[in-house]
Structure 1
Amino acid sequence: MATAPETIWIYDTTLRDGSQREGISLSLEDKVRIARQLDRMGIPFIEGGWPGANPKDVQFFWQIREEPLTQAEIVAFCSTRRPGRTAEADPMLQPILSAGTRWVAVFGKSWDLHVTDSLKTSLDENLEMIRDTLSFFRAQGRRVIYDAEHWFDGYKANPDYALATLKAAIAGGAEWLVLCDTNGGTLPHDVQKIVQTVRQLVQSDEARDLQTAEKPAQIGIHTHNDAGTAVANALSAVMEGARMVQGTINGYGERCGNANLCSVMPNLQLKLGYRCVEPEQLATLSESSRLISEIVNLAPDDHAPYVGLSAFAHKGGIHVSAVEKNPITYEHVSPDAVGNHRRIVISDQAGISNILAKARSFGIELSKESPTCRQLLQNLKTLENEGYQFEAAEASFELLMREALGQRDSFFSVKGFHVYCQMHPDAETWSTDSQATVKITVDGQDILEAGEGNGPVSALDVALRKALRTIYPEIASFQLTDYKVRIIDGKSGTSAKTRVLVESSNGHQRWTTVGVSTNIIGASYQAVVEGLEYGLMLKHRAKLALETSSVATDS
């Protein structure tokens, strides 16, 4: 009888550690969207932030409590109590309890240098801060993960004291001891040796005597990428006994980033035989990587291992010939395992399976031999070459697909629009007034309408809605919930091509549309118009489905 693979617990800190990357600023809605995607991926632990550190993190924990995730544990993060007071009397810890999470991650100092120079306290007081804080949360019914900050540097500087901090955490009731390479400069052979030492500690009689949790503490690993070894260090730790890996999607994080879970997870599951998530969840990895890159408004790394657009791309000559006969000749794993796809760059076969799969997700059955399928593929390649990106704009892709099939509903057409902006100073700062006029046609009837907004896109959106609302009153429930702009070819300066992503909602569903142009207003116009059109299509198809169901019931 086959033995079930051993589980490695994945702990995602994209929402906290990842958001500290330069250039990332997550809205509350961004954080919720990312958390829900991680939940769908099967990630068991999601670090939501530091409750009380800023209003956004407080609101995030409230919102998740109102609309819980399906399987993931949301974890609140904080430091040990401050020197010179008890954990019970430290007001910094109260928002952590108010967050209402079952799990709390507490970080404490492992390096004596940080204790004396940063905390300005004694080594003994730091040990008591660790034990007291963890005991406090345990007494409040929380389960505790202890993050040993600067663990590897601390161990190298003073191994006896570093180990004493872990003993204090065990005495406080920690269920996980996560060893952090905070400065990211440790190499895999050192990680290996030091984790061996920690494993001996947690298995010792001394640790069993100190233990206050129900089970012995397990080892986790948290690595940064300053030496380019974060993923290798995480794997080394697992091979020496670590059973939790902390990291971020796409390796986002401060300075050079954190261990990239998009590399860690497939390496653990496909190469080393551990279980991180279900195989079908691992197959969403590429989609999740790209979706989250769009949410944080950073360009995906096309050459990223496993999930990059070029990770399974083959171009001409011997490689193409060999991979078409037997993919393992030039592919270390099947791209399907991580939700990616093989790309024969010069072949018109590349991407057909993706078109078919996406069509099925829209309830459309296509044949591989269908001329429409090949037309769609060619359209997709042409548009992506122009700068379109449909990974996070599935509504636009569905409209493109239905147009090729002759199934795209014609609700309205825009005959033209005009946008006018005027800047003028008020008492404190410069403000912008924008007006837009738009002319649309619905069923042969021309409608001219105007709107005002705090910017040109807002004014255009208002004018379109006013023009359509009398004919399609459901538009009143549509909201533009997010708007992102990316410069595609920055070297072209102010004449660069721009990609705009617009997220819309009807209160129950969300959808994203894309526009591309050298004119940011033109790109925004495309995305806004398609967003309205897609919302009307959803309403129309839901109405048809209801009518069909009613007829069937009556029959």
Structure 2
Amino acid sequence: MREQVFLFDTTLRDGTQGEGVSLSVDDKLKIVEKLDQLGVHYIEGGWPGSNPKDMEFFKRVQEVNLEKATITAFGSTRRSGIKADEDENLQKLIDSGVKAAAIFGKTWDFQVKEAIGTTLDENLQMIYDSVLFLKQNGLEVIFDAEHFFDGYKNNRQYAMEAILSAEKAGASCIALCDTNGGTLPHEIYEIVKDVCSKVTVQVGIHCHNDGEVAVANSVAAIQAGARQVQGTVNGYGERCGNANLISVIPNLQMKLNFDCISEGNLTKLTSISKYVHEIANQSAPSNQPFVGKSAFAHKGGMHVSAVLKHPETYEHVKPEALGNARRVLVSELSGQSNLLFKAKEWNYRFDKKDPSSKKLLETIKEKEHEGYQYEAAEASFELLVKKSFDQWKDYFTLDYYKIFIEKNGEQAFSTEAVVKLCVQNEVVLTAAEGNGPVNALDHALRKGLEQFYPIIKNMYLSDYKVRVLDETDATASKVRVLIESSDGNEKWSTIGVSGNIIKASWLALIDSVQYYLMKHDSEIELNHPKQDEHCLGVSNH
């Protein structure tokens, strides 16, 4: 039978101390429900005595029906010189209505003397009194031994006396904190092993990532005997962050055979990681282990060839077990195996011996030499594949476009675009204003197409990025434009490269529209006859 490791999530408290991370009460409640569905055992909601937002959270969270998680309040030991029942912050922990509280206390003699300015004996009494007071008022108490590892290395005897005071007072768990994040895995292992031999209650681990080893430290602590692991979703936290539970969980469960959550819930890790990124308005790192977009992305041709035969050749776990997916990127490093994978993914017939496949591969390499980067624009790449294998039809072609920019006196610039297209055997001339040349082009193109393809009204540009490819050429440099589009349900990215930023933007823009029409071809009722004579010679480029 696998040993149980209890998960203690502090995203809502410690995680919000990270720079740029702010959660409303509604945000916190939404995350609570997701964490409970994942199977987290303890969810630390905040510090009731610190701000009105956290008090509102603890009031409203009582109305949430949780299946597994225990909502936990955070606080500190009593202040020096007063009794525990006189300490306002301890009383607010009780008033918050929670069943469990995590309180921190000093375990490093240096911190006791210099940070809170009291005696070593008084600090031990503060720990004992605070834990006992909360315990007597019906709360489960988890003692966070702040700066424990620094304290242990500087004064082992006192650090141990501090946690033994908490144990004696009735703490159910002693969480050892690497508060400054400077301890290494081998030190964590040896110290936790020693502590586990000295205490009779559960030992936990709380690591910060200042040395970029918070996950490794957490895993080492569990191997040494700790059975509670604290951390945050996506590693949010002060300074360099906390141990990332999204990485800790699969390492413990899939690699070391501990029981953290149900096997079925492992598949929720990717979606929960993305969900919290979205709620916190943070960009999800593409290379985030286990759940990132690039975590199982393969680019080198030899790698892809091996993965197609046996995925374990370049994958340490199965992506689908985590709710993630394998991706194959196409670039100048690609081989035919990359194209075979993409063809299979898109349900295209692709013959490895077909000269067209070799020609396509050469085209890709030439395009990437020009500055294209299809790994970031798979919609443009799919269009390229279709055109290479004569599986493509133009939904429109361009005759020309013109852009007019005008400035009158001190007023803002006005921009107008004129676009001449051939659509459904008809020549269409439209003009539209916009907030800048690209926006004006987008409006004019839509205006010309919507009467033929009303479905275009559903799509919109959701992101626009420009990168200068060769800064040494100054204003004559080539630029790469990436456009992300969406219809509210799906997103797709397209690319354009040119020495002219308007042309690069146009190339990415028309790829975006053509791709959307291609994907919804079955919904387009109009036929697409061949161009008649008055449309001949018109070109998208």
Larger radius of gyration: 2
Q: Using the alignment, how far apart are the partners of 2:482 and 2:302 within structure 1?
A: 36
Task: Tell whether the 8 Å contact from 1:12 to 1:247 is kept in structure 2 after alignment.
Answer: yes
Identity of aligned residues (%): 47
Task: Tell whether the 8 Å contact from 2:308 to 2:341 is kept in structure 1 after alignment.
Answer: no
Match of 1:294 among 255, 267, 278: 278
> What does residue range 172-183 of structure 1 map to in structure 2 within 5 Å?
172-183=169-180
Cα distance, 1:57 vs. partner? 0.8
CA 140–260 in structure 1, closer or farther in 2 if over 3 Å, else same? same
Q: Using the alignment, how far apart are the partners of 1:490 and 1:87 within structure 2?
A: 59
Q: C-alpha deviations, 1:230-263, integer Å up to 9, x for none?
A: 1111111111100011011111111111111111
**One-letter amino acid matched to 2:13:** R
CA 301–126 in structure 1, closer or farther in 2 if over 3 Å, else same? same
Counterpart of 1:233 in structure 2 is: 217
Task: Tell whether the 8 Å contact from 1:342 to 1:351 is kept in structure 2 after alignment.
Answer: no
CA 199–351 in structure 1, closer or farther in 2 if over 3 Å, else same? farther
Cα distance, 1:290 vs. partner? 1.1
CA 251–383 in structure 1, closer or farther in 2 if over 3 Å, else same? same
CA 322–201 in structure 1, closer or farther in 2 if over 3 Å, else same? same
Cα distance, 1:224 vs. partner? 0.6
Counterpart of 1:13 in structure 2 is: 10
CA 512–97 in structure 1, closer or farther in 2 if over 3 Å, else same? farther
Match of 2:103 among 75, 88, 106: 106
Give the SS at the match of 2:110.
helix
Q: Using the alignment, how far apart are the partners of 1:227 and 1:382 within structure 2?
A: 35
Match of 2:36 among 28, 39, 56: 39
Give the SS at the match of 1:11.
strand
**One-letter amino acid matched to 1:73:** T
**One-letter amino acid matched to 1:7:** Q
Cα distance, 1:516 vs. partner? 10
> What does residue range 316-331 of structure 1 map to in structure 2 within 5 Å?
316-331=300-315
Cα distance, 1:287 vs. partner? 1.0
Give the SS at the match of 1:74.
strand
> What does residue range 171-250 of structure 1 map to in structure 2 within 5 Å?
171-202=168-199, 216-250=200-234
> What does residue range 11-160 of structure 1 map to in structure 2 within 5 Å?
11-160=8-157
Cα distance, 1:117 vs. partner? 1.0
Bigger Cα displacement from structure 2, 27-36 vs 150-159 = 27-36
> What does residue range 125-524 of structure 1 map to in structure 2 within 5 Å?
125-202=122-199, 216-346=200-330, 385=377, 489=465
Cα distance, 1:345 vs. partner? 2.1
Cα distance, 1:35 vs. partner? 1.3
Q: Using the alignment, how far apart are the partners of 1:257 and 1:134 within structure 2?
A: 27
Give the SS at the match of 2:84.
coil
Task: Tell whether the 8 Å contact from 1:152 to 1:179 is kept in structure 2 after alignment.
Answer: yes
Q: C-alpha deviations, 1:20-71, integer Å up to 9, x for none?
A: 1101111111111111111111111111011121111111111110123222
Task: Tell whether the 8 Å contact from 2:299 to 2:328 is kept in structure 1 after alignment.
Answer: yes
Q: Using the alignment, how far apart are the partners of 2:493 and 2:342 within structure 1?
A: 22
Cα distance, 1:383 vs. partner? 13
**One-letter amino acid matched to 2:247:** S
**One-letter amino acid matched to 1:284:** K
Cα distance, 1:298 vs. partner? 1.0
Q: Using the alignment, how far apart are the partners of 1:352 and 1:73 within structure 2?
A: 48
| Paired residue total | 373
Q: Using the alignment, how far apart are the partners of 2:310 and 2:326 within structure 1?
A: 12
CA 125–490 in structure 1, closer or farther in 2 if over 3 Å, else same? farther
Give the SS at the match of 1:127.
helix
Cα distance, 1:184 vs. partner? 0.2
Q: Using the alignment, how far apart are the partners of 1:14 and 1:146 within structure 2?
A: 18
Q: C-alpha deviations, 1:380-427, integer Å up to 9, x for none?
A: x9998499xxxxxxxxxxxxxxxxxxxxxxxxxxxxxxxxxxxxxxxx
Q: C-alpha deviations, 1:352-378, integer Å up to 9, x for none?
A: 9999xxxxxxxxxxxx799xxxxxxxx
**One-letter amino acid matched to 2:99:** R
CA 118–339 in structure 1, closer or farther in 2 if over 3 Å, else same? same
Give the SS at the match of 2:85.
coil
**One-letter amino acid matched to 1:200:** S
CA 165–231 in structure 1, closer or farther in 2 if over 3 Å, else same? same
Q: Using the alignment, how far apart are the partners of 1:513 and 1:197 within structure 2?
A: 52
**One-letter amino acid matched to 2:80:** P
Counterpart of 2:390 in structure 1 is: none
Q: C-alpha deviations, 1:65-96, integer Å up to 9, x for none?
A: 01232221111000001001111111121221
* Cα RMSD after superposing both structures: 3.3
Q: C-alpha deviations, 1:174-206, integer Å up to 9, x for none?
A: 11000000000001111111112101211xxxx
Give the SS at the match of 1:16.
coil
Task: Tell whether the 8 Å contact from 1:179 to 1:220 is kept in structure 2 after alignment.
Answer: yes
Gaps spanning 5+ residues in structure 2: where?
331-337, 350-372, 380-460, 469-480, 495-541
CA 107–352 in structure 1, closer or farther in 2 if over 3 Å, else same? farther
Q: C-alpha deviations, 1:503-529, integer Å up to 9, x for none?
A: xxxxxxxx9998999xxxxxxxxxxxx
CA 40–327 in structure 1, closer or farther in 2 if over 3 Å, else same? same
**One-letter amino acid matched to 1:170:** E
Q: Using the alignment, how far apart are the partners of 2:24 and 2:218 within structure 1?
A: 30
